[in-house]
Structure 1
Amino acid sequence: MYRHLLLATDGSELAQKAVAQGLALAEALQARVTAVTVTDPVPPMVSGDASFVVPLQEYDRAATAHAARILDAAAAAAGSAGVTCEVVHVKDQLAAQGILDTAKAKGADLIVMASHGRRGISKLLLGSQAAEVVSQSSVPVLVYRQ
């Protein structure tokens, strides 16, 4: 069965529920987990000569601090469940690619993630990271939906 689960989280309430489900599964299987969060590439208005909105260093500091809070929460939940947890912050990648790359690099045999279930125009504009992971993953993906 599964020995190493990758728990992908963006810190949202739905993602936290997916992490909890992944930890329950890991506990039942006596598996270890890697929690991953991905920071999107720097928006054009923040980088380069047009960085008048937010200085690049400030953006990076804020993104790193936000990722640390997300991963600290996942690690604390894993500790409470008695599950061994490693944390990974992937910077400057789109979420789906960061998740897929981390799953491969860490040797995960199951990816657990949430889907916000976007439809219509919001799906067109924002895309579906879960759908992209499912379609490109070489390992099974457990998608948590509410």
Structure 2
Amino acid sequence: MYRRILVPTDGSPITEKAIAAAIGLAKPLGAQIEALAAVEPFQYGVIGEVDPPPPVDFRETQQRIATQRVQAIALACESAGIACSVHVTEAAHPYEAIIGHATQRGCDVIVMASHGRRGVRAMLLGSQTQKVLTHTAVPVLVVR
């Protein structure tokens, strides 16, 4: 049924539920998990009262944090005896990176968390999960 399961992470605590769900789905099927974190590109046009970090420092910090996040998924998979590959990509819009990765890597399903924001909060904060659901043809399992 499912051979390759994509688990995107933003490092939030709710993502742990999605990781557990993906492992629970992958284990009986012998599926592989793809862990993905998208990092923001450096915003050169941002001007504020505080000097932003230099682009190199910003990128290194973003890369380090994203790598820690996908490694946490890999560790959980290793403990469960499931194959896992980790990926970090730069993207201005994480939902596009998630959909692109799922398509390029031939993922059968995307398992991702939702914070459950509604109304104005969802509109203001945005919902990457909602955007993935709206724009992908790949099945999505949403965990709350």
Shift of 1:94: 1.2
In 2, the alpha carbon distance for the partners of 1:42 and 1:53 equals: 10
Counterpart residue type for residue 90 of structure 1: T
What is the CA deviation profile of residues 90-119 of structure 1, one whole-angstrom value per residue up to 9, with x for unaligned ones?
113311001000001110010000011112
Counterpart residue type for residue 57 of structure 1: V
Residue 4, structure 1, aligned to residue 23, structure 2: no
The answer for the alignment partner of 1:140 in structure 2 is: 139
What percent of counterpart residues are identical? 37
Shift of 1:143: 0.3
The answer for the alignment partner of 2:13 in structure 1 is: 13
Q: Is the 8 A contact 1:8 1:35 kept in 2?
A: yes
Q: Name the count of aligned residue pairs.
A: 142
Shift of 1:51: 9.1
Counterpart residue type for residue 78 of structure 2: G
Shift of 1:31: 0.5
The answer for the alignment partner of 1:30 in structure 2 is: 30
Q: Is the 8 A contact 2:95 2:128 kept in 1?
A: yes
In 2, the alpha carbon distance for the partners of 1:42 and 1:16 equals: 27
In 2, the alpha carbon distance for the partners of 1:107 and 1:93 equals: 22
Q: Is the 8 A contact 1:14 1:114 kept in 2?
A: yes
Give unmatched runs, 5+ long, in structure 2: none
TM-score, normalised relative to structure 1: 0.91
Cα-Cα RMSD: 1.7
Secondary structure at 1:7 match in 2: strand
Moved over 4 A (4+): none
Secondary structure at 1:13 match in 2: coil
TM-score, normalised relative to structure 2: 0.92
Give unmatched runs, 5+ long, in structure 1: none
Counterpart residue type for residue 52 of structure 1: D
In 2, the alpha carbon distance for the partners of 1:42 and 1:115 equals: 26
In 2, the alpha carbon distance for the partners of 1:79 and 1:53 equals: 38
Shift of 1:23: 1.0
